[in-house]
Amino acid sequence: GAEGARALGESIPRHGSLAELDLRGNNIGTDGALALAEALARNCSLVKLDLEMNRIGSSGAGAVADALPGNSSLAELSLCRNGIGDDGARMLGEALPHNSSLGKLSLQENGIGVDGAGGLAEGISRGSSLAELSLNGNNIGADGMKLLAEALVRNASLTALHVDNWPDRDETRSLLECNRNELKLARAWIQAEHMPSFYP
């Protein structure tokens, strides 16, 4: 729970060799996320952090987002199934341009809609190191997907985008195809239920 997360947050900076931390399903809540975020902000050695199913909410996601600009080690972050919503996604998006290490961000099943997708897209388009973004199980719709597709055109770092259950539109398809061709992402792929042509 939260107390265990607080204890971990205090000990992480003292253990320079800890590279991965998996806390899936531990119900750390917002308070636990705040404690871990403090450790991240101190630029600990963590490379991979999994906080899936911990009820951290938008406030917990915001705390993690606030820690990202001061961290240069974290490469993979999973906040799946935490109910972060649009607010949490927007705060993470705001942090992305100010972090140079995060390469993979997983946000499946978080109640993220168009506004959250737009916040993430804005962060990506402003420049980030993110190479892979997972948004399966959210409700970003065609409009949210269009915003992400436009961000892909402006930023070549993102080479894998996982989405599902969105209405296909020619405009979005065209943006994705343009990005794929212009950047020559031979090994990249866009996974979407209604876009089988983007599988390698």
pLDDT in tens, 66-114: 999 989 999 999 999 999 999 999 999 999 999 999 999 999 999 999 9
Residue 120 CB contacts under 8 Å (≥ 6 apart), including other chains: 89, 90, 92, 93, 96, 133, 135, 148, 151
List, as own/partner pairs, every contact residues 90-93 make where C-beta atoms lie below 8 angstroms and the sequence separation is at least 24, other chains included. Answer: 90/115, 90/116, 90/118, 90/119, 90/120, 91/58, 91/61, 91/62, 91/65, 91/66, 91/119, 92/61, 92/64, 92/65, 92/68, 92/119, 92/120, 92/123, 93/119, 93/120, 93/121, 93/122, 93/123, 93/124
pLDDT at 169 over 60: no
Q: Round to the nearest angstrom and report the end-to-end CA distance of the chain.
A: 42
What pTM does this model have?
0.83
Q: What is the pLDDT of residues 178-192, one digit of tens each?
A: 555 433 332 334 444
Collapsed DSSP state (helix, strand, coil) of residue 199 = coil
The answer to whether the Cα torsion of 34, 35, 37, 42 is positive or negative is: positive
Going by C-alpha positions, the residue among 125, 56, 65, 68 that lies closest to residue 89 is 65
- Both tokens assigned to 38: 């403090």
Q: State the CATH class of domain 2-198.
A: alpha beta
Per-domain residue ranges of the chain: 2-198
Q: What is the pLDDT of residues 30-56, one digit of tens each?
A: 999 999 999 888 867 889 999 999 999
